[in-house]
């Protein structure tokens, strides 16, 4: 029941092949197999959604007013989502994000003194350290306690919401990981709206619309067609028939996005741009009904394909919020918002900050910029010399094990390496991953003497959460790891690649050694990457010295 679908090639021959050939083989395998996830794993995720909904219904049972469309039910849905994500149970949990034992991070790290954290302002007094203190733990525990206090209340009042509005930003100051894991870019704004008794429905409507519109806007890039192909190749519903092959120009030799993948990308983007406008300007009549129907189909499509990172519960809340806000409360216009403070907050958090984050992605998290699942993410690759990962295990305080160690609890070495190779494929199959064809040879002289580890897996092991946020495994994390582990020059080299700015044409990159720091940087043309296959060619393969 837990046996993954193995790649269609001999694993011993794969290990013996040069690195460019190994990349080609795993990318071709991904195109027709995806991650190879066992089907029972999807059932686990379905049960987790059932727990999420069931626990929300349980908390609603404490409320004086009943019904799943009551005002208090909506408030508790938002609060429970903050708690669920902050505990580590939502996005970034389970096998589809490299978590097997334990299947989630979050609280297991956030409640443990000594674990590594990512302060917003490194070095500041009290909150600027790289290790979690008892004060950090106490603040997190208090945050959760106040959330559950509100969830168990007969009525969620602004007074019960204030501790969350105060504590979550403080926790973000001490650890960016916790703030982002709580999906504060959405849920914190929703809670702020709930503080305004007369305007909270109108304000919440604008929050929902902003999330959809920015997510759609961020997909207006050359990266998204590749995302569609990678997602469909990994979909549990595409295991039969030719759909996976149709995502690529000419499987197995040309794995650039096909015309069908591009058409699906454009159609999805247009859909996500249109239905929020129908809901925004609808009044409960035909426009609203059409908008809700299209919205429901859109989110069902996303959720049923089980995208990597598994933001499933977030999709559930988006659907529920849409029916509550735009259906049940269709009489309230989002444009009726009148509270100056709330108008200023929404303008800042849902207009100015996302715009700045799209123009300067190096300075703002892709979550805060609302560039969801657009393929245009910062990422990193960590290259470890033999024995270097053991220094991490000795020097760091964590509540879990490295990816290979987790997999070896279930599988033999062949299966373990097969599963890990699919992480390599996932990165290279996306457009931005093709920058590695040029960067890996510059980072190390001989890739064969290093262990290739995606930064997502490093963040999951070190920080307790990973969800595609490359800024959580950037230079700041490398410096924190080095301060605790004392790696020698050459033992750990990292490749950091930044997102493409809105209106820009390049991806900025940085190469760094854990011991000696940054040793190279530059940028690469996105247009150049579009012409490349997901695997290196013989001319630029990273078996050659820089």
Task: State residue 533 phi and psi, 5-degree precision.
Answer: -80, 165
- The pLDDT score that the predictor gives to residue 245 is 96
- The pLDDT score that the predictor gives to residue 540 is 56
Answer yes or no: are the C-beta atoms of 332 and 205 closer than 8 Å. yes
- For tokens 């230079």, the residue is 475
Cβ neighbors of 245 (< 8 A, separation 6 or more) are: 31, 32, 251
- The pLDDT score that the predictor gives to residue 121 is 96
Q: DSSP for 432-476?
A: GGGGHHHHHHHH-S-GGGEEEEEHHHHHHHHHS--SS-GGGGSHH
DSSP tag of 91: T
In whole numbers, what is the pLDDT of the chain averaged over residues? Answer: 95
Average pLDDT over residues 254-273: 97
Average pLDDT over residues 218-241: 93
Closest CA to 93 of 471, 459, 466: 466
CA distance to 123, 268, 431, 499, 529, per residue, from 525 (Å): 35, 26, 11, 12, 7
Q: Percent of the chain beyond pLDDT 70?
A: 98
Closest CA to 399 of 99, 2, 95: 99
More confident residue, 38 or 191: 191
For the ranges 1-5, 125-129, 200-204, which has the lowest average pLDDT?
1-5
Average pLDDT over residues 503-516: 97
- The pLDDT score that the predictor gives to residue 241 is 84
Alpha carbon of residue 41 to chain centroid: 19
Q: Tokens at residue 91, please? A: 């996005």
Task: State residue 113 phi and psi, 5-degree precision.
Answer: -60, 145
- The pLDDT score that the predictor gives to residue 407 is 94
Alpha helix segments (H runs only) across 155-311? 158-174, 176-181, 184-194, 200-218, 224-234, 243-246, 259-281, 286-304
Q: Where are the domains of the chain?
A: 39-219+310-359
Q: H or E stretch including 25?
A: helix 19-33
Radius of gyration of the chain (CA): 23
Average pLDDT over residues 104-118: 97
Does the pLDDT of residue 262 top 70, yes or no?
yes
Answer yes or no: are the C-beta atoms of 52 and 447 closer than 8 Å. no
Exposed (0-12), middle (13-18) or buried (19+): which is 137, by Cβ within 10 Å? middle
Does the pLDDT of residue 439 top 80, yes or no?
yes
CA distance to 119, 397, 459, per residue, from 131 (Å): 9, 9, 14
pLDDT 10s digits, 315-363: 999 999 999 999 999 999 999 999 999 999 999 999 999 999 999 999 9
Does the pLDDT of residue 542 top 60, yes or no?
no
Q: Bridge partners of 380?
A: 496
For the ranges 157-161, 304-308, 395-399, 427-431, which has the lowest average pLDDT?
304-308
Angle subtended at Cα 300 by Cα 274 and Cα 79, rounded to the nearest 5 degrees: 90
Tell me the three state secondary structure of residue 364: coil
- For tokens 């990266």, the residue is 223
d(CA 32, CA 6): 11
- Chain length of the chain: 546
Alpha carbon of residue 118 to chain centroid: 17
CA distance to 49, 118, 280, 533, per residue, from 202 (Å): 28, 35, 10, 47
């Amino acid at each position: 029941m837990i046996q993954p679908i193995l790649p269609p090639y001999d694993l011993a021959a794969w290990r013996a092949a040069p690195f460019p050939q190994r990349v080609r083989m795993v990318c071709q395998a991904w195109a027709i197999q995806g991650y190879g996830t066992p089907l029972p794993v999807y059932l686990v995720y379905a049960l987790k959604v059932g727990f999420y909904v069931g626990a929300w219904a349980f908390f609603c049972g404490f409320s004086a007013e009943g019904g799943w469309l009551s005002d208090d039910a909506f408030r508790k849905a938002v609060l429970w989502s903050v708690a669920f994500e902050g505990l580590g149970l939502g996005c970034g949990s389970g096998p589809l994000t490299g978590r097997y034992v334990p299947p989630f991070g979050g609280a297991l790290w956030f409640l443990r003194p000594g674990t590594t954290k990512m302060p917003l302002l490194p070095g500041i007094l009290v909150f600027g350290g790289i290790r979690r203190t008892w004060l950090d733990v106490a603040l997190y525990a208090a945050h959760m306690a106040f959330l559950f206090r509100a969830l168990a209340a007969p009525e969620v009042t602004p007074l019960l919401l204030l501790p969350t509005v105060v504590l979550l930003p403080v926790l973000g100051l001490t650890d960016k990981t916790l703030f982002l894991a709580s999906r504060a870019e959405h849920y914190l704004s929703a809670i702020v709206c709930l503080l305004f008794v007369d305007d909270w429905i109108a304000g919440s409507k604008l929050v929902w619309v902003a999330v959809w519109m920015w997510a759609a806007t961020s997909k207006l890039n050359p990266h998204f067609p590749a995302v569609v192909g990678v997602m469909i190749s990994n979909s549990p519903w595409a295991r039969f028939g030719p759909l996976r092959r149709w995502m690529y120009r000419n499987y197995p030799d040309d794995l650039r996005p096909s015309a069908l993948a591009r058409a699906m990308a454009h159609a999805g983007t247009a859909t996500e741009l249109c239905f929020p406008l129908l809901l925004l300007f609808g009044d409960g009549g035909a426009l609203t009904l059409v908008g809700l129907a299209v919205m429901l189909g859109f989110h069902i499509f996303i959720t049923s394909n089980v995208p990597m990172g598994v933001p499933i519960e977030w999709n559930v809340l988006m659907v529920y919020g849409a029916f509550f806000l735009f259906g049940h409360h269709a009489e309230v216009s989002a444009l009726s918002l009148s509270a100056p403070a709330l108008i200023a907050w929404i303008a800042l958090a849902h207009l100015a900050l996302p715009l700045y984050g799209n123009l300067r992605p190096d300075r703002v998290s892709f979550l805060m910029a609302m560039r969801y699942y657009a393929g245009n993410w910062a990422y990193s690759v960590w290259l470890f010399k033999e024995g270097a990962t053991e220094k991490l295990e000795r020097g760091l305080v964590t509540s879990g094990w490295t990816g290979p160690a987790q997999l070896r609890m279930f599988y033999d070495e062949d299966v373990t390496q097969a599963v890990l190779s699919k992480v390599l494929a996932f990165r290279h199959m996306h457009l931005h991953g093709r920058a590695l064809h040029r960067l890996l040879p510059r980072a190390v002289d001989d890739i064969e003497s290093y262990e290739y580890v995606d930064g997502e897996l490093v963040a999951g092991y070190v920080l307790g959460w990973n969800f595609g946020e490359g800024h959580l495994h950037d230079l700041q994390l490398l410096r924190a790891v080095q301060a605790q582990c004392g790696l020698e020059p050459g033992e750990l080299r990292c490749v950091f690649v930044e997102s493409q700015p809105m209106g820009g044409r390049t991806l900025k990159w940085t190469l760094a050694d854990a011991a000696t720091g940054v040793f190279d940087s530059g940028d690469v043309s996105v247009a150049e990457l579009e012409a490349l296959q997901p695997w290196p060619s013989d001319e630029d393969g990273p078996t050659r010295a820089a």
